Structure 1
């Protein structure tokens, strides 16, 4: 059930790229001010910046916004494809894991939607968590120090 980790990683990347776009938009505002005033906003002394240099900076910011937007759209597309693939999984374990970990639904709602008892869904959820713990211990075994038993 490593798909949940992959899905969460993609979702975090999307959040980071969205924050980066907000930062770049602020940077673009500063670049516009630089083009019109010819002064660096962070410098207390009047430092003249030639218009060609200001425009180069402005263009560079616009280019970074475009690149970041493209990466963001690509990541969103990947996330949609992962969601579509996960929804296609058969078996109650995958359905419960998807609804619990990705849709963030409580177990009682999952039980209601899937038509099973709450206790059965709780048992399946517990099995999934146990399987995850066992897998993570296999993937990342504890390291013994020399001289210890």
Structure 2
């Protein structure tokens, strides 16, 4: 009986270890979406230099959705928006280095953009940014939290 309990305990321990390893997230693969609230849109427009009266006039007419997709070494950044009847739909293909947590143009040219993934939340990491080439374009996403979609 004593040996049976030891064998059973060993079996349960091995099963638990295999289950934990199999369920653990090993990559950043997935789709992450950012849809800012009205408050966030107001802050973004304010940071871009819009006056308070302009912000109030257009706040209900501005919609934005940014999607980041990561699949192994490939990725995409898609921006869909609408402002006062004008629609925008742009998509960019990127190279992804999941070990270094960076994005780069698909051609491999240009600077690398750092990112972080914590649980189901993706954020751009602009800390320590020396070059302003892409920092200015991403400044509006500095506090954006992209949620992983299922």
TM-score of Structure 1 vs Structure 2, range by shorter chain: 0.3 to 0.5
Larger Rg: 1
When normalised by structure 2's length, the TM-score is 0.32
Structure (1 or 2) with the greater helix fraction = 1
Structure showing greater relative contact order (alpha-carbon pairs closer than 8 Å, 6 or more residues apart) = 1
Structure (1 or 2) with the greater strand fraction = 2
